[in-house]
Chains A and B, each alone.
Chain A
Amino acid sequence: MEAIRPPSFPAANRDIIRVLFKPSALYLASLGLSISLVGVLGMALLIQTWWGMGMAGQNNASFWGTYIVTFVFWVGIGHAGTLISAILFLVRSKWRTGVYRASEAMTVFAVMTAGLFPVLHLGRLWQVYWFFPYPNQRYLWVNFKSPLMWDVFAISTYLTVSTVFFFIGLIPDFAIVRDHNKGLIAKIYNLAAFGWRGTNRQWHHYMAAYGFFAAFAAPLVLSVHSVVSWDFAMAVTAGWHSTIFPPYFVAGAIFSGCAMVITLLLPMSYLFGWKDYVNEWHYDALAKMCLLTSAILTYAYAMEYFIGWYSQNPHEWEIFRWRAVGEYAWAFWLMVFCNCVAPLPWYIPKLRTNPWVLWTIAGLINVGMWMERFNIVVSSTAHSFDPAMWRMYAPTLLEVCILLGSAGWFFMWFLLFAKTMPAVAITEIKEQIEPPLKGSLEAK
């Protein structure tokens, strides 16, 4: 396998910028569908706000349901981007170059999508500003003991930092887009590029800033999903109250994030004809990453059972026993299949580069990771301490609408990104190309 095979500096510019601004029919149709789904989300939210949370399927045992399932799912998705862009940057891993821009965009949009859910699952979402510790005449304050409060800060910090990091990376590329356009577009991109001119001095500062933000963002990759896992681990509920949750969640997040990168980049690079920039080399690396995290997850699943049995805690053991044999066993075994079994073919190197295998397994992993959160969030509460209060939860049509709507919201942003921003980091690609010698044909 080869690394990046871009022909030359000008070709790199051309290939990446070529795809911007000119929407195809397929693109417009996809965007239209995404925006329609956002409309569905809005309607569903309106209905739920007007008639109450009861329009969704939660009950007196399972109070969170698919909303928090999907929240954790999207937050998890939002991890691979920063991992690839920041951590792999810091360890100077070269394969990140081709995929990191799209992954970063994915991160920002996934966190934006995730952020919808804590708000829309509120009983009184119009009071959402009460989450913030702002000074007020009533001396109301927030509870810093609550993991939800930690969530508020963790997620907003992560969104801010990853967004800033994302835009910093885009500065030189925005300048290239500017240079290839005229008129209003050039002016807008000039603004976005902060008037980037590519001087030595600018590069010097730029690289320092980039390195700083990479270092700043790297621990967030670990912290954010750890904090999200504390929503569960800090609770007493059996099946939640577990010290392995932070590493288990982080591994799961990277697992699902890498799978989502494959899911998004495969068709994108195919449609945009970017075989030279995003190719088997990247997929191979991503698949290996998935294999590693899948092994961690499998270990974590096994460990949950071991501890449940070893502790002789009737609540703990019953919840794990029931997950495997109870009414939600289908969700459990779907999770086990998708997360532990489905990635196994990737141990065969050839299957790590076959696009169809890649895409299918990555898709299964996405399903499996949603199911994992379903198993955690729903089954623990549906079958908790009081057997008399065991009751089943099933999502309603409204929740399905909100779920699909959130996907629409995510894809809407991603599609807009694909047509307005260079989805492959042109300047970093160029770092991996032999610089054109003065007077060579390519330099012209």
Chain B
Amino acid sequence: MARLNRRDFLKALGIAGAASAAACGWDDNWYRTPVEELLPYVVKPEQVTPGTPTFFATTVTTGPAAWPVTGRHRDGRVINVGANTQAPGFGGGVPKAALLELQRHYSPDRLRAPLAGGAESSWDAAAEKLAEAVGKARAAGKKVVWFGPHQSGALAQLLADYTQGNNLHWEPLGRSDEADAAETVFGERRLPRYELGRAHFVLSFGAPFLGSWGGLNLERGFADAKNPNKGNFIARHALIAPHVDQTGANADDWYACGVGAEASAAFAVAKLIASKKGYAGGASQILSGVDVAKAASASGVSQEQLQEVADRFAQAEAAVALPGATPDADLAIACFLINIVSGNLNRTFFADGYAGPIHGLRHVKALVEELNAGKVGVLLVGDTNPVYSLPPSLGFAEAAKKADLMACLSDQPTETTALASLILPVANTLEDWGDEDLDATTRLLRQPTMTPLWSSRSLGEVLLKTARAAGLKPLPVEQPPSLSQPEDGSSEGDSEDVDPSAPQEQQGAAPLAFEPSTWRDYLVARWQRQVYPRAQNPGSFQEFWLKSLRQGVAKVRSDATPPTVRLGAYSPPERNAASGIGLQLFAHPHRYDGRYANAAWAQEVADPMTGQVWDSWVELSPELAAELGVKDRDEVELTTAAGSFRVGVEVYPGLKGKTAAFAFGQGHRQGRYADKRGQNAFALAAAEATDSVGNPLLGGLSVQIKKTGARSDIWSTFGGDSDGGRYWGVAVNAPALAKVGDKPSDHPGELTGIHHLGRDPRLEEKSRKNFYDPPDHPTYRFAMTVDTNACDGCGVCVIACYAENNLPIVGKGLIKRGREMNWLRINRFWEENPDGSHDIRFIPVMCQHCALAPCESVCPVLATYHNLDGLNAMVYNRCVGTRYCANNCPYVVRRFNFHSYAWPDPLTLQLNPDVSVRTMGVMEKCTFCVQRTRNMKDAYRDRDVHMVPDEALRQLPACAEACPTDALTFGNLKDERSAPAQTRKSARSYIILEELNTVSAVNYLAKANFHVPEAGHHGSGHGHDDDHSTDHHDAEQH
């Protein structure tokens, strides 16, 4: 036999093997990983570098609140939404809505093609059908009605033109009450604008202003007001409301008020302030009729308490009052009056906010009447869900069928789209052009962050395409905007022939020199015509447009008229608390009014106050629960005049007496994540409501509660309610903190009153005996500062972490078994102050990246180790899954992949390509977004800078980037100027479980509290070591 060398042998073996496999008739690739071919670009598109993200400034809107963000675009798709730090006057932060919109963008349930009568249709055919119906309606003299969410800017104009003014913009939790109040008080339907940053005293009647109610500017403003480093004061926040929600949890004083009686209390406060301030303006006549004693007995807030609030409000250098949890025009009027009589108009309270159309329930009722009368030919429903969110007794669903055509222009399947005979899944906010007029001086621009995922067309495009049928006269533009050549920029200052506040009035006069062919052209035309002329120092239009596009924001001269208080015949109503058990309905912090219920993150991320996931629950006051004989998770039946359902109980100390609370957002019948989860709060709403004066739709409900005896299936991820003196959350005396601020202190941590072992002189760095040498950090020691005073518990950081780090959704079943995959959680501790009031502390907890990490030393295979950047690194591939590290982590931040988790298509497209998707059996945890720090280091190293400057690190991790209040700040401890290095010297700095000598990289800043004594000792028996001879946070200097 000829010599067979090794290679020939292997070849022969391979052929024989392949042949035998083929002969068996199997797919001969069954055992191989599928081959995916990577094709390089032949011609690289501009802006696209594989592996490098591109950022598009855009705008995300919830209700009348809009916020500039950036879409992080990678390889043809948007993978994340981040802060837009270049937007002048905004300063970062990501609204939760933006992240939830991102997930809805990739929702597996999203409608992908037009549906005509349930059958898939082409866009041309669908548009033709719409045009035909609109044409017919016009010919027959019937109305074409738009029914959608709050909308301003170019689209609102186009819709108004398209429907000849029959555009209805209503949201169940929209701010129509304030619009009504503004109409009453100022004679103009323009929302007020609040500047909380200046307020020394904030009085709220339950508005979730740190949640979904306003924009992030309120959250940022409130954080500024509470920030001892800004203005040397800490605002006091009083809450007069029946229910403590996530926003109310940040209140320093809570005055429990009867459900529905907030307006009485508010008018009483207004009167007391007016008399204290000696106010004698136009409103004094109205207030003279207010009986404080009556209001006190009606609301359950005592006269002394009302007086206390009024005194603090009146004495504050600047103060602001905010309205209620659910729309109530009278309450809004009362709040406006408080702000006016106390002299805070144009100090913290401005009458130049959002001026887009906002409609109330009475407009919706009128629409239903018109529908029933057969006056509506075409009903166009936008991205809103009236079938879900209107009381059934209103009969919207039946009425809608009486329109000749009901078309939904929405990409998410809802209870309303289920009724529509024509569905046009228009492009969503991340795919479309658009703009918003946030307030009198701010214009926000929206641009697509990727080409539409499916065959979507822009809503504006659809309207323009069917415009002729609608008899639309497009916006007049003198010449097509040409962006390819710069303009002469002569339009500096006032444009001679345009009155932007009344564009429609122009249309009859000006000839249609140009009819925009695309929605983008229409938008550009609007900006050229209306925004550009009012801009400040815009340069040429091309420059102005590109700059606005890049920043997402344009500042313009105010279009608001100076406010004049013109209260006429208004008389304050007498509101009493709901009889029997009062039911307070409130917006869910994540699911809002239910529109985000089908975004899995909104279900998976725990409710900030109760830890509830994936379900509905009713909150009962402890007294009421005792009276009913129910405890947590027992099932009860809620019955109001409008409806009834069964739901599980959460006994909730943020309610007093005979009160219950229930969140909006669940009880859907559509969407895989929302379907049949929990109960719909709108089903309990008042059947007969006018939303205007006297009878709000959602407030002041009374409810009957019956114990059913069954156990419910609700689930909370929260363990204990108090930290039991373990110093997870620490409160310090607010005035004392306001005095010293966060200036480097000789005695870091002094205000916290914690007897730090780390400060014990016996354990100083020199004599501190570590069994193993502390690790070396040559250039970086990445670290974070968590300001628990700034954290309001909103939870956007958690969702941002899910989005950035490919955290799987495990679902309710696995959360019930304790296996959620959150790398970052917010502990909510409900502590008692020495005077008996409560203090709710939100403590965001992520991996503390300890230098002497308990997890590292116990891993038998070195899968987790400390790297030179100071990160506690995790090598997924090396992990065998002993889970010892997690058992030994005192911060309990490690998460184990109990299974391999799947993302249904196309949610896979949202996965961050920079972060590996983990599989079954390995441990994972917060990495401080190592993919971002690595990229940043590389970027600077390419410029030969070997220590990334502090500014580039501060908001680098996804959580810190998303945080609207800068509660999370990232940095390098080796850089003396960095925020963590500086805040470690603060008198309110503390490190959780410092006594374990983990040498953690995360320091916390204590919360300001008006109820704890100045020394900062709060009730614990810990002694205080007076010998602060060393800086206890210097353990890091190696």
Which among A118, A146, A387, A388 has the highest number of chain B CB atoms within 10 Å?
A388
Contact B891 A63, beta carbon cutoff 8 Å: no
Q: Does A167 contact B (CB under 8 A)?
A: no
Task: Mark the stretch among B22-30, B794-802, B877-885 that contacts chain A.
Answer: B877-885
Which among A60, A141, A385 has the highest number of chain B CB atoms within 10 Å?
A60
Contact A141 B862, beta carbon cutoff 8 Å: yes
Q: Does B776 contact A (CB under 8 A)?
A: no
Task: Mark the stretch among A170-178, A232-240, A272-280 that contacts chain B.
Answer: A232-240
Contact B861 A142, beta carbon cutoff 8 Å: yes
Residue interface mask B887-916, A partner, CB < 8 A = 1: 110111001111110000000000000000
A-chain residues with CB within 8 Å of residue B923 when the two chains form the complex: 123
A-chain residues with CB within 8 Å of residue B862 when the two chains form the complex: 140-143
B-chain residues with CB within 8 Å of residue A315 when the two chains form the complex: 726
Residue interface mask A54-67, B partner, CB < 8 A = 1: 10011111111000
Q: Out of A63, A146, A386, A390, name the residue touching B886 (CB < 8 Å).
A: A63
Least Cβ–Cβ distance between A434 and chain B, in angstroms: 55
Closest to B923 in A: A123
A-chain residues with CB within 8 Å of residue B891 when the two chains form the complex: 385-386
Contact B828 A388, beta carbon cutoff 8 Å: yes
Contact A145 B772, beta carbon cutoff 8 Å: yes
A-chain residues with CB within 8 Å of residue B642 when the two chains form the complex: none
Contact A146 B859, beta carbon cutoff 8 Å: yes
Contact A235 B722, beta carbon cutoff 8 Å: no
B-chain residues with CB within 8 Å of residue A64 when the two chains form the complex: 883, 887
Residue interface mask B712-739, A partner, CB < 8 A = 1: 0000011111111110100000000000
Contact B818 A122, beta carbon cutoff 8 Å: no
Least Cβ–Cβ distance between B346 and chain A, in angstroms: 43
CA distance A393 to B854 in the complex (A): 23
CA distance A140 to B861 in the complex (A): 8
Q: Does A381 contact B (CB under 8 A)?
A: yes
Instruction: Given A237-B888, A386-B845, check contact A140 B996 (CB 8 Å).
Output: no
CA distance A431 to B881 in the complex (A): 51
Contact B899 A388, beta carbon cutoff 8 Å: no
Least Cβ–Cβ distance between A286 and chain B, in angstroms: 35
A-chain residues with CB within 8 Å of residue B887 when the two chains form the complex: 62-64, 235, 237, 381
CA distance A142 to B882 in the complex (A): 13
CA distance A123 to B863 in the complex (A): 13
Chain B contributes a number of interface residues (CB within 8 A of A) equal to 57
Q: Does B568 contact A (CB under 8 A)?
A: no
Closest to B861 in A: A130
Task: Mark the stretch among A8-16, A147-155, A329-337 that contacts chain B.
Answer: A147-155
Q: Does B857 contact A (CB under 8 A)?
A: yes
Contact B860 A146, beta carbon cutoff 8 Å: yes
Q: Does B817 contact A (CB under 8 A)?
A: yes
Q: Out of B721, B829, B854, B860, name the residue touching A148 (CB < 8 Å).
A: B860
Least Cβ–Cβ distance between B766 and chain A, in angstroms: 23
Q: Does B16 contact A (CB under 8 A)?
A: no
CA distance A235 to B883 in the complex (A): 13
Contact B880 A130, beta carbon cutoff 8 Å: yes
Contact B860 A149, beta carbon cutoff 8 Å: yes
Q: Does B993 contact A (CB under 8 A)?
A: yes
Q: Does B921 contact A (CB under 8 A)?
A: yes
A-chain residues with CB within 8 Å of residue B896 when the two chains form the complex: 53, 58, 60, 63, 123
CA distance A424 to B714 in the complex (A): 59
Which among B722, B724, B829, B896 has the highest number of chain A CB atoms within 10 Å?
B896
Q: Does B825 contact A (CB under 8 A)?
A: yes
Contact B857 A145, beta carbon cutoff 8 Å: yes
Least Cβ–Cβ distance between B885 and chain A, in angstroms: 9
Q: Does B245 contact A (CB under 8 A)?
A: no
A-chain residues with CB within 8 Å of residue B829 when the two chains form the complex: 387-388
Residue interface mask A246-283, B partner, CB < 8 A = 1: 00000000000000000000000000000000000000
Contact A123 B921, beta carbon cutoff 8 Å: yes
Q: Does A350 contact B (CB under 8 A)?
A: no
Contact A385 B879, beta carbon cutoff 8 Å: no
A-chain residues with CB within 8 Å of residue B723 when the two chains form the complex: 387-388
Q: Does B819 contact A (CB under 8 A)?
A: yes
A-chain residues with CB within 8 Å of residue B921 when the two chains form the complex: 52-53, 122-124
Contact B820 A148, beta carbon cutoff 8 Å: no
Least Cβ–Cβ distance between B589 and chain A, in angstroms: 17
Contact B817 A57, beta carbon cutoff 8 Å: yes
Which among A53, A118, A131 has the highest number of chain B CB atoms within 10 Å?
A53
B-chain residues with CB within 8 Å of residue A94 when the two chains form the complex: none
Closest to B865 in A: A143
Which among B724, B819, B857, B888 has the highest number of chain A CB atoms within 10 Å?
B888
Contact B818 A54, beta carbon cutoff 8 Å: no
Within 8 A of A (CB), among B351-393: none
Q: Out of B720, B859, B890, name the residue touching A143 (CB < 8 Å).
A: B859
Closest to A152 in B: B860
A-chain residues with CB within 8 Å of residue B845 when the two chains form the complex: 386, 388
Least Cβ–Cβ distance between A381 and chain B, in angstroms: 5
Known: A122-B882, A123-B881, A387-B723. 8 other contacts (CB 8 A): A59-B818, A63-B883, A121-B883, A130-B861, A131-B880, A235-B858, A384-B890, A393-B818
Q: Could you list which residues of chain A lie within 8 angstroms of chain B, going by C-beta atoms? A: 51-54, 57-64, 118, 121-125, 127-128, 130-131, 140-143, 145-149, 152, 231, 234-237, 312, 314-315, 318, 381, 384-393
Q: Could you list which residues of chain B lie within 8 angstroms of chain A, going by C-beta atoms? A: 717-726, 728, 772, 814, 817-820, 825, 827-829, 843, 845, 854, 857-862, 878-884, 886-888, 890-892, 895-900, 920-923, 993, 996, 998, 1021
28 contacts between A and B (CB under 8 A): A52-B920, A53-B896, A54-B898, A60-B818, A60-B819, A60-B820, A60-B896, A62-B818, A63-B883, A123-B920, A123-B921, A124-B921, A125-B880, A140-B878, A143-B857, A143-B862, A145-B772, A146-B884, A147-B858, A149-B860, A236-B854, A237-B890, A381-B887, A386-B719, A387-B722, A388-B843, A388-B845, A391-B717
In the A-B complex, the 10 residue pairs with the closest CB atoms: A123-B881, A59-B818, A123-B921, A390-B719, A387-B720, A54-B898, A63-B883, A388-B827, A124-B921, A52-B899
